Each structure stands twice: as structure tokens, then as C-alpha cells.
Structure 1
């Protein structure tokens, strides 16, 4: 796994919309340091980085980065209590014909 991905993953999940501007800027810089495409291993690690909300759109950037890797990342349907971003990744893979709806 590339160092820039390790740094982003080590920082943990994205903060919520109540995060400071400094924290948001730091996470955006970390995310932008990751070049596309990501590997399957990197994509799987990045899936753990979704936070409680869209983080002012940063979660969408993360989702699109994950989708540059070999798809699908999530091969089974997330449970009803799963993070909304995991549900979106799975739904997008189903809609793209990469998975069957479960």
C-alpha cells in the first residue's frame, strides 16, 4: 500500500460537518495526495474512512477515488445498519452491473 494511502487511513474516518476548518483542510490535502487509480488493497482500506456524514462533499471525493480501483470493493450487500457510504458503494456497483442485488 502506498504511503499516502497509509497516512490517510491512519488518520481514521472523515470527521463530521462539525470539524474545524483546519482538520477538514488537512484531510482534503491527504486525500488529494493519493493518485488514481487505487489498488484493490488500497480501496478496501479506504472504505473504512467514511465518517458520519458527507463532510462537506469530501466523502464523495473518497467514494470516487475508491471507485477508481478494481470494482466491486464491497461484494456483499451491507447490512441495514451499515454506513450510508458503504450502501452507496454497493448500490452503485449493482447499478453498474458489477453485482447482483442481494
Structure 2
């Protein structure tokens, strides 16, 4: 795993929208330092970095970064307790025809 990805992972999930602007900007800069595409291992690890909300759109940037890697990130539907971003990644893979949605079958 590349050092830029490890640095992002070390800081944990994205902050929520109540975070200071400097913290949000720092996380955006960390993501920008990660060259695309990400590896499958990096994509799976980054999928654990979604925070409690969309962090002023930063979560969308993270989702798009994850999607630069080999898809699908998940091969089984996330559980009901998974956050909305994991469910969104899953649904985007289903919509792209990369996985079959076993619940829809």
C-alpha cells in the first residue's frame, strides 16, 4: 500500500460537517496526493474512511477515488448497519452490472 494512502487511512474516517475548515481542507489535500488509480487493496481500505455525513461533498470525492480502482470493491451486499456510502458503492456496482444484487433476484 502506498504511503499516501496509509497517511489518509491513519487519520481515520472523514470528519463530519461540524469539523473545522482546516481539517476538511487537510483531508482533501491528503486525497489529492493519492495518484489514481488505486489498487484493490487500497480501495477496500479507503471504503472504511467514510464519515457520518457527506463532509461538504468530500465523501463524493472519496467515492470517486475508490472507483478508480478495480471494481467491484464489494462482492456481497453490505449489511444493514453499514453506512450509506458503502451501500452507495454497492448500488453503483449493481447498476454497472459488475455484481448481481442477490436481494433483487
Task: Give TM-score scaled by structure 1 length.
Answer: 0.98
Pairing 1:5-44 to 2, within 5 Å after superposition: 5-44=5-44
1:80 shift after superposition: 1.4
Structure 1 residue aligned with 2:62: 62
| Misfit runs of 4+, over 3 Å | none
Matched, 1:73 2:73: yes
Partners of 1:66 and 1:25 in 2: CA distance? 19
| Aligned counterparts of 1:48 and 1:30: Cα–Cα separation in 2 | 16
Residue correspondences, number: 102
- Under a length normalisation based on structure 2, what TM-score does the superposition of the two structures give? 0.95
Deviation digits for residues 7-54 of structure 1 (CA, Å, limit 9, x no counterpart): 001100000000001100110000110010000011011011000000
| Superposed CA RMSD | 0.6
Q: Hey, what does 1:84 align to over in structure 2?
A: 84
Gaps of 5+ in 1: none
Gap runs ≥5 in structure 2: none
